[in-house]
């Protein structure tokens, strides 16, 4: 385990998510081949890899959507329950690569759906509007507003989520995931389709989430974004972990460059993500 | 007991053949557009009425020889039924389903219910009339059951095979299913449109990129299903001796059960599912003891079978096309 | 409504268009005081000169509205206050004029049919036609108004409440008036006028404003709506025929509201819902004191209601538990099959094909009327000098049931569970991934909806006097679904409207009854094609402005005005 290599990760942190030798087989296709990954509390881990490398499939194995063919996933020392909603209860929340908000619900309702597993009102409470229902409703509304403020959607609470701008929809998805009160947040390409400015805002938001005590696992294509953001990066290629380590190590690894560019690294093919900060706003996607 | 078993075997298979012919329509359409064409039962009913109209237009022949009846009259009636049912199915697709292709999933299903009610009522109200003019003299109206013409050589004829009595309409139905299956196999595997249909059902977007006209393929799927339903309509008329505007509802529901039984989206499955369902019904009325074995319960057993299949083997006996919505 | 006439032409012609439109409207107003037909046999008698019939008086609202809409901008609408700038004067005038034309055409057609030929139209009729054509054509040449923004205008609370009460009073009047009509042609004309008025008010922006007003005064709205509904029997002078229709409407609406939870909120297409109503009705019938009841247990009705609901919801669990795991399309067919199983089973439990529970296709007749602590539902009572008959008693009971269902529906809808339901409807997989227990929630909706249908069924059994299996066929399920779809999935008001239309129209258009189903099928197809969200769209699909958002509303309003002025300067010029 190389987690403590990076200075930003304190050695005392405990393992939150522990995936060991996960294999996911679809018929003849082995989408995830023997991947192990750990995420510690208070850490931002990045998962990169070319298209079709199995990142999202691995994600789905971690969130209970798929049952791995073999291997084990433990969360907070417990085996991960086999259903997404139980994984949420255990403290794991996710966003989707292609936004999956509840389009005909308002922003605040979207967030409040996220609180479902943390609230207890039953049908009887609701029908007769018993004190528990009222108390919980008030608290949920309050908390939802806080979360909307937190992600920067102040005042958009009563807007239908489908009417929100694209970047706001991504942020609303994060707020909805945070509403489940997770210990670990899994973000599937949170900056896909965003402009550089929105990307920077997202970066800042993820730092704030980390600072509030959550661990974050991010899938991303945007190299600059991920190397700025993460404490540790794993590069997945053809279903297997190619390299794992601190951003500085991964971004200089010739195998990673080869996986992305398709040829061994030389001076001329060295992508510009190796000089972060030189030219802000220009990522590998633009190159 | 053994004779009874074989008798019910034949009865069940011929009933099942009827279901199978209709079930293909559900399965082909579902395989391509993931739509339960609720109105398919009515397409079957219109096929039967189309055949009846053809017979009327031919001058209501009753005294043709067996050979002419089988070689000229029956094929003409089947073709007439097909024309009616295919035209209706294509029009339905064009006006009720195509505009809803990107709508929420409930919309086409509700629209289909509307089509189903509309077609039933249209036949009930307007069969044998010219709208705004009046009734056509000599034509029956369809408000109650219409007697289906008897075809010399089939209607009322039986074959004795050991202790088993086989009705000729049953043989016709089984034969029609056999011929239709061969045609269908040829169409799907050996024609361009057929292969385009398979490709579209696998992946409509890629099919479109490969230059397949998906709209046309969908129309073809509706047409193929309707043509087979028309054959079933004629078989139904011959088997029961009359047709009525309500006949599509129950038959459609049973055929859908058959399609699910075989694995919806799977053409071979529809045929197998139909036969199995027919057999199950026939056997249930014979071999379930006591009051619940009476024929009054046979539809209940068919639907119970549907629910059991959906619960324990939703992909059907032969496996359905799995739609991954994750 | 946009037309192909170029904007420049419209601006040039705006004064002549107004003048001609006014002339047309005045002609229509005058026509009301002239006889429309020779003889007195058409449209409940429109053959008098000088004394308009009630129908003509109702019609009068349309041309008067045209005069106001065309006249006020000429006089200067600034005097009316700020709100006058937020409504669509011209477009509404156009809509109203076209609606008048529609109503006049229907009226003339009805006269021609009822009296046999166009020759029976008298001078007043022709004046009305001419006036309607004139104002309709003239208003087409008016420049289009921008979208109304009346919904953003703030008004005093008492104005809002007054408006709500006024609207409800109009609804009560219209319902009483429509039910009282015996002439189908007159009913059609009335329906055309009403539709025209509704369209015009919507165009004007009134509905958006009313929507906010009712959202702000929800309790007032609900209470006064029930007061109005409660008062309805008093407007009928003890007429049993109308109260019978009204109570049928309520039973139908109650069932449709239950279905609305399942279809509208959770998005599960249930095509066998009528079976739950049937289960409740059969349970109540068997437990009643009917001589044909097959058991020897006859609890008081309040117990029967609970048992009926429970039986229905157990059926819901039995059918739901295995099938709610399969995808939505399959569910539709499985519930349909279940509905058939129910009907066939009720038919077969006759002592021959099965144990005798339901007397088979004969069903259970002779169910006695309800009797609550000596209050006999069969007996007419006189309250405030007005006779309240048997049907009115059931009407009130159903009103209570509906109130109950509405409370359940809205309270659930605005709870954690309701949000979970809608989340499932929107995206089941995402809901599951956000921790929503989708299976349990779907089952809850299914069983809960079934319970409500069972309760409605238990009243229906006593109302109908007899319960037979053939009352509970698939077509009835389709009708219920149609009420939900027509009115607006997921809404209470919409479904009430949808249920009323679907039950009332066939009762009033008896000459049409043979074509009822044909039109019904066509309506379903057209609704899905052109307005799948129904007459009343789900509130979740509209931007709501609550009190705490008024600042935001003001901001938006200012921004809109600024934008409008900026982007479309000419627009400001020609909207007088």
Task: Read off the CATH number of the domain in which A236 is found.
Answer: 3.40.50.300
* Token digits of residue C495: 């479904």
Mark yes or no for CB contact C543/A84 under 8 Å.
Answer: no
ipTM, two decimals, is 0.89
- In a 13 Å sphere around the CA of C372, the CA atoms on its Cβ side amount to 10
Residue A103 to residue C427: CA distance in whole angstroms:
9
* Token digits of residue A80: 């991960």
If you measure CA to CA, which chain B residue comes closest to C330?
B310
**Rounded to a whole number, what is the distance in Å from the CA of B265 to chain C's nearest CA?**
13
Asked whether the beta carbons of B316 and B309 are under 8 A apart, the reply is yes
List, run by run, the mean pLDDT of 10-residue segments along chain B (326 residues): 86 94 93 88 96 93 86 94 97 92 81 93 89 81 89 85 86 94 91 90 86 91 95 95 92 91 88 94 84 82 86 77 40
The pLDDT, as a whole number, for residue B82 is: 97
Mark yes or no for CB contact C518/B125 under 8 Å.
Answer: yes
Structural domain of A155 = 102-179
The pLDDT, as a whole number, for residue C570 is: 33
Is the domain of A84 the same as that of A137? Answer: no
Nearest residue to B47 (alpha-carbon basis) of B230, B235, B247: B230
Asked whether the beta carbons of C86 and C205 are under 8 A apart, the reply is yes
**Rounded to a whole number, what is the distance in Å from the CA of C255 to chain B's nearest CA?**
18
Q: Does A70 touch chain C (CB under 8 A)?
A: no
Tell the burial category of A145 from Cβ atoms under 10 Å away from its Cβ (0-12, 13-18, 19+). Answer: middle
Provide φ and ψ at C151, rounded to 5°: -60, -15
Q: Does A134 touch chain C (CB under 8 A)?
A: no
Strands, E assignment, chain B: 129-130, 134-135, 146-147, 158-161, 164-167, 242-243
Residue A55 to residue A48: CA distance in whole angstroms:
7
Q: B260: which residues sit within 8 A by CB, 6+ positions away?
A: B273, B306, B309, B310, B316, C330, C333
The pLDDT, as a whole number, for residue C527 is: 84
Mark yes or no for CB contact A116/C419 under 8 Å.
Answer: yes
The predicted-structure confidence for C254-285, as pLDDT tens digits, reads as follows 999 999 999 989 988 888 999 999 999 999 99
**Rounded to a whole number, what is the distance in Å from the CA of C214 to chain B's nearest CA?**
29
CB proximity under 8 Å: A 114-133 to C: 114-119, 121-123, 125-129, 133
Which residues in chain A are contacts of C552 at CB distance < 8 A?
155
Provide φ and ψ at A268, rounded to 5°: -70, -30
- Coil vs helix vs strand at A162: helix
**Rounded to a whole number, what is the distance in Å from the CA of A275 to chain C's nearest CA?**
38
Q: Does A100 touch chain C (CB under 8 A)?
A: yes
Q: Does A63 touch chain C (CB under 8 A)?
A: yes
The pLDDT, as a whole number, for residue C540 is: 52
- Coil vs helix vs strand at A183: coil
Task: For the beta carbon of residue B161, count every other beta carbon within 10 angstroms.
Answer: 11
Which residues in chain C are contacts of B113 at CB distance < 8 A?
271, 478, 481, 524
Answer with the one of A161, A179, A197 that is the final residue of a domain. A179
Is the domain of A258 the same as that of A122? Answer: no
Residue B161 to residue C81: CA distance in whole angstroms:
94
The pLDDT, as a whole number, for residue B45 is: 96
Answer with the one of A120, A153, A179 that is the final residue of a domain. A179
Task: For the beta carbon of residue C235, count every other beta carbon within 10 angstroms.
Answer: 17
Q: Report the relative pairing of strands A70-75 and A78-79 from DSSP bridges.
A: antiparallel
Q: Does A176 touch chain C (CB under 8 A)?
A: yes
Of the candidates B96, B109, B121, the beta carbon closest to that of C517 is on B121
Is the domain of A65 the same as that of A206? Answer: yes
Query: Is the dihedral angle over the CA atoms C217, C218, C223, C226 positive or is it negative?
Result: positive
Residue C527 to residue C521: CA distance in whole angstroms:
10
The pLDDT, as a whole number, for residue A12 is: 56
If you measure CA to CA, which chain B residue comes closest to C485?
B110
Mark yes or no for CB contact C415/A96 under 8 Å.
Answer: no
CATH 1.10.3470, domain C237-507, yes or no: yes
Which residues in chain B are contacts of C335 at CB distance < 8 A?
none
Asked whether the beta carbons of B114 and C524 are under 8 A apart, the reply is yes
Radius of gyration (Cα) for chain C, nearest Å? 27
Taking only the tens of pLDDT, chain C with its 576 residues reads: 455 677 778 777 778 888 888 888 888 888 888 888 887 777 777 777 777 888 888 888 888 988 888 888 777 776 777 777 777 788 888 888 888 898 888 888 888 887 877 878 888 888 888 888 988 888 888 887 777 777 777 778 888 888 888 888 888 888 888 877 777 788 888 888 988 888 888 888 888 788 778 777 778 888 888 888 888 888 777 677 888 888 999 999 999 999 999 998 998 888 899 999 999 999 999 998 887 777 778 888 889 999 999 999 999 998 888 878 776 777 888 888 889 999 999 988 887 777 878 877 888 888 888 877 777 787 777 777 777 788 888 999 999 999 989 998 989 999 999 999 999 999 999 999 999 999 999 999 999 999 999 999 999 999 998 899 988 988 889 889 888 988 888 888 889 988 988 888 777 777 677 888 888 888 889 888 887 777 776 655 444 333 334 444 444 444 444 444 443 333 332 333
Asked whether the beta carbons of C560 and C149 are under 8 A apart, the reply is yes
Mark yes or no for CB contact A117/C435 under 8 Å.
Answer: yes
Residue A154 to residue A166: CA distance in whole angstroms:
16
Q: Does A94 touch chain C (CB under 8 A)?
A: yes
Which residues in chain C are contacts of B104 at CB distance < 8 A?
532
* Token digits of residue B317: 């006996």
The pLDDT, as a whole number, for residue A272 is: 52
**Rounded to a whole number, what is the distance in Å from the CA of B262 to chain C's nearest CA?**
14
Average pLDDT for chain A: 84
Is the domain of A152 the same as that of A280? Answer: no
Is the domain of A175 the same as that of A187? Answer: no
Q: Report the relative pairing of strands C371-372 and C375-376 from DSSP bridges.
A: antiparallel
Chains that touch B (3 or more CB pairs under 8 A): C
Radius of gyration (Cα) for chain A, nearest Å? 20
* Token digits of residue B299: 């539809």
Is the domain of A14 the same as that of A71? Answer: yes
The pLDDT, as a whole number, for residue A3 is: 41
Task: For the beta carbon of residue C43, count every other beta carbon within 10 angstroms.
Answer: 28
Residue C104 to residue C106: CA distance in whole angstroms:
5
Is the domain of A80 the same as that of A194? Answer: yes
If you measure CA to CA, which chain C residue comes closest to A174?
C434
pLDDT lower than 50: segments of chain A: 1-11, 265, 267-269, 274-287
Q: How many domains are there within chain A?
A: 2
**Rounded to a whole number, what is the distance in Å from the CA of A154 to chain C's nearest CA?**
11
**Rounded to a whole number, what is the distance in Å from the CA of C553 to chain A's nearest CA?**
11
The CATH 1.10.3470 portion of chain C extends over 237-507
Is the domain of A222 the same as that of A261? Answer: yes
Tell the burial category of B260 from Cβ atoms under 10 Å away from its Cβ (0-12, 13-18, 19+). Answer: buried
Mark yes or no for CB contact A89/C435 under 8 Å.
Answer: yes
| Angle (CA) B77 B79 B82, round 5° | 110
Using an 8 Å CB-CB cutoff, list residues of chain C that contact chain A.
407-408, 411-412, 414-420, 422-423, 426-427, 429-438, 444, 448, 538, 540-541, 543-546, 549, 552
Asked whether the beta carbons of B245 and B155 are under 8 A apart, the reply is no
Which residues in chain B are contacts of C340 at CB distance < 8 A?
250, 253, 299, 303
Is the domain of A60 the same as that of A187? Answer: yes
If you measure CA to CA, which chain C residue comes closest to A60?
C433
If you measure CA to CA, which chain A residue comes closest to C441?
A123
Answer with the one of A179, A214, A242 that is the final residue of a domain. A179
Is the domain of A172 the same as that of A186? Answer: no
The pLDDT, as a whole number, for residue A264 is: 54
Count Cβ–Cβ pairs < 8 Å, chain B vs chain C.
133
The predicted-structure confidence for C371-406, as pLDDT tens digits, reads as follows 777 777 877 777 777 777 888 889 999 999 999 899
Q: Does A145 touch chain C (CB under 8 A)?
A: no
Mark yes or no for CB contact B297/C348 under 8 Å.
Answer: yes
Conformational region of residue B77, where left means phi above 0, alpha means psi within -120 to 50, and beta covers everything else? alpha
Mark yes or no for CB contact C528/B249 under 8 Å.
Answer: no
pTM: 0.83
Q: Does A81 touch chain C (CB under 8 A)?
A: no
């Amino acid at each position: 385990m190389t987690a403590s290599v990076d200075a930003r990760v304190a050695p005392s942190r405990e393992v939150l998510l522990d995936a060991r030798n996960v294999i996911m087989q679809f018929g003849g296709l082995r989408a995830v081949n023997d991947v192990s990954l750990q995420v510690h509390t208070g850490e931002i881990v990045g998962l990169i890899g070319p298209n079709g490398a199995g990142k999202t499939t691995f994600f789905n194995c971690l969130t209970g959507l798929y049952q791995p063919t073999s291997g084990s996933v433990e969360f907070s020392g417990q085996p991960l329950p086999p259903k997404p909603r139980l994984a949420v209860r255990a403290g794991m929340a996710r966003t989707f690569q292609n936004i999956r908000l509840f389009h005909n619900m308002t922003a605040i309702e979207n967030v409040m759906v996220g609180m479902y597993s943390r609230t207890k009102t039953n049908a009887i409470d609701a029908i007769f509007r018993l004190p528990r229902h009222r108390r919980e409703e008030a608290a949920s509304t309050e908390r939802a507003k806080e979360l909307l403020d937190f992600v920067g959607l102040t005042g958009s609470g009563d807007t239908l989520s489908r009417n929100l701008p694209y970047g706001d929809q991504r942020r609303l998805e994060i707020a909805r995931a945070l509403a489940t009160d997770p210990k670990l947040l899994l973000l599937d390409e949170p900056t896909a389709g965003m402009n550089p400015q929105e990307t920077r805002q997202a970066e800042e938001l993820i730092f704030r989430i980390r600072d509030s005590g959550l661990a974050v696992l991010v899938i991303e294509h945007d190299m600059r974004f991920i190397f700025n953001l993460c404490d540790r990066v794993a590069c997945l290629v053809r279903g297997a972990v190619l390299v794992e380590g601190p951003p500085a190590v991964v971004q200089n690894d010739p195998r990673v460059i080869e996986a992305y560019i398709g040829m061994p690294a030389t001076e001329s093919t060295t992508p510009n993500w190796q000089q972060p900060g030189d030219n802000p706003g220009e990522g590998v996607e633009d190159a | 007991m053994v004779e009874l078993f074989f008798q019910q075997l034949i009865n069940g298979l011929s009933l099942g053949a009827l279901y199978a012919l209709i079930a293909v329509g559900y399965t082909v359409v579902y395989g391509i557009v993931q739509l339960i064409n609720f109105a398919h039962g009515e397409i079957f009913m219109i096929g039967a009425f189309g055949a009846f109209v053809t017979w009327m237009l031919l001058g209501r022949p009753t005294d043709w020889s067996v050979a002419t009846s089988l070689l000229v009259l029956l094929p003409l009636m089947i073709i007439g039924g097909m024309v009616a049912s295919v035209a209706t199915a294509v029009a339905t697709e064009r006006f009720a389903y195509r505009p809803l292709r990107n709508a929420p999933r409930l919309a086409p299903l509700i629209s289909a219910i509307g089509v189903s009610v509309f077609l039933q009522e249209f036949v009930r109200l307007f069969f044998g009339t010219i709208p705004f003019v009046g009734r056509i003299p000599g034509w029956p109206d369809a408000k109650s059951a219409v007697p289906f013409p008897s075809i010399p050589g089939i209607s009322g004829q039986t074959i004795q095979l050991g202790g088993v009595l086989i009705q000729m309409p049953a043989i016709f139905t089984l034969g029609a299913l056999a011929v239709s299956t061969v045609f269908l196999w040829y169409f799907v595997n050996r024609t361009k449109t057929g292969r385009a249909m398979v490709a579209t059902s696998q992946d409509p977007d890629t099919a479109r990129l490969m230059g397949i006209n998906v709209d046309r393929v969908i129309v073809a799927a509706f047409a193929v299903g309707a043509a087979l339903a028309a054959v079933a309509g004629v078989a139904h008329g011959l088997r029961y001796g009359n047709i009525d505007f309500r006949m599509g509802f129950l038959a459609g529901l049973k055929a859908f059960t058959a399609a699910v039984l075989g694995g919806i989206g799977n053409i071979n499955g529809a045929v197998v599912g139909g036969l199995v369902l027919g057999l199950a019904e026939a056997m249930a009325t014979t071999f379930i003891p006591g009051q619940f074995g009476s024929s009054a319960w046979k539809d209940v057993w068919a639907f119970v079978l549907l629910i059991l299949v959906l619960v324990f083997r939703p992909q059907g006996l032969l496996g359905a096309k799995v739609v991954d919505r994750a | 409504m946009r037309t192909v006439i170029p904007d420049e032409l419209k601006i040039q012609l705006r004064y002549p268009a107004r003048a001609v439109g006014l002339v047309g409207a005045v002609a229509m107003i005058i026509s009301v005081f002239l006889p429309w037909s020779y003889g007195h046999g058409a449209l409940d008698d429109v053959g008098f000169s000088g004394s308009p019939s009630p129908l003509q008086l109702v019609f009068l609202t349309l041309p008067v509205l045209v005069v106001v809409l065309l006249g006020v901008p000429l006089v200067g609408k600034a005097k009316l206050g700020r709100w006058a700038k937020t409504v669509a004067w011209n477009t509404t005038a156009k809509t109203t004029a076209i609606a008048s034309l529609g109503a006049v055409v229907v009226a003339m057609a009805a006269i021609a049919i009822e009296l046999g030929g166009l020759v029976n139209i008298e001078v007043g009729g022709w004046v009305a036609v001419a006036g309607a054509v004139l104002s309709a054509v003239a208003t087409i040449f008016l420049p289009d108004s921008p979208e109304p923004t009346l919904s953003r205008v703030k008004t005093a609370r008492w104005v809002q409440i007054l408006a709500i009460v006024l609207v409800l009073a109009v609804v009560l009047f219209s319902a009483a008036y429509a039910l009282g009509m015996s002439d189908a042609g007159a009913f059609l004309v009335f329906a055309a006028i009403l539709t025209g008025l509704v369209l015009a008010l919507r165009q004007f922006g009134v509905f958006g404003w009313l929507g906010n007003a009712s959202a702000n005064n929800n309790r007032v709205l609900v209470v006064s709506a029930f007061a109005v509904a409660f008062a309805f029997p008093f407007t009928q002078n003890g007429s049993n025929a109308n109260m019978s229709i009204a109570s049928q409407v309520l039973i139908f609406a109650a069932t449709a509201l239950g279905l609305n939870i399942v279809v509208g909120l959770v998005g599960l297409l249930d095509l066998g819902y009528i079976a739950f109503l049937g289960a409740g009705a059969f349970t109540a019938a068997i437990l009643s004191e009917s001589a044909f009841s097959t058991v020897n247990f006859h609890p008081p009705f309040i117990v029967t209601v609970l048992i009926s609901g429970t039986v229905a919801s157990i059926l819901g669990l039995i059918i739901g538990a295995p099938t709610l795991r399969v995808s939505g399309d399959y569910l539709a067919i499985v519930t349909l099959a279940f509905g058939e199983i129910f009907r066939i089973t009720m038919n077969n439990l006759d002592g021959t094909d099965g144990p005798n529970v339901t007397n088979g296709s004969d069903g259970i007749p002779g169910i006695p009327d309800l009797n609550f602590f000596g209050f006999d539902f069969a007996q007419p009572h006189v309250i405030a000098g007005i006779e309240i008959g048997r049907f009115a008693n059931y009407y009130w009971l159903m009103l209570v049931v509906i109130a109950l269902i509405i409370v359940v529906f809205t309270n659930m809808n605005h709870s954690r569970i309701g949000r979970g339901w809608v989340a499932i409807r929107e995206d089941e997989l995402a809901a599951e991934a956000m921790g929503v227990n989708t299976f349990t929630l779907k089952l809850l909706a299914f069983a809960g909806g079934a319970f409500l249908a069972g309760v409605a069924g238990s009243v229906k059994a006593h109302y109908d006097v007899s319960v037979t299996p053939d009352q509970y066929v698939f077509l009835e399920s389709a009708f219920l679904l149609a009420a939900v779809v027509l009115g607006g999935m997921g809404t209470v008001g919409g479904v009430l409207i949808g249920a009323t239309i679907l039950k009332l129209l066939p009762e009033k258009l008896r000459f049409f009854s043979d074509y009822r189903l044909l039109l019904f099928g066509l309506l379903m197809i057209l609704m899905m094609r052109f307005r799948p969200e129904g007459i009343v769209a789900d509130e979740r699909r509209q931007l709501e402005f609550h009190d705490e958002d008024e600042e935001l509303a003001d901001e938006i309003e200012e921004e809109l005005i600024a934008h409008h002025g900026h982007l479309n300067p000419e627009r400001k010029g020609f909207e007088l």
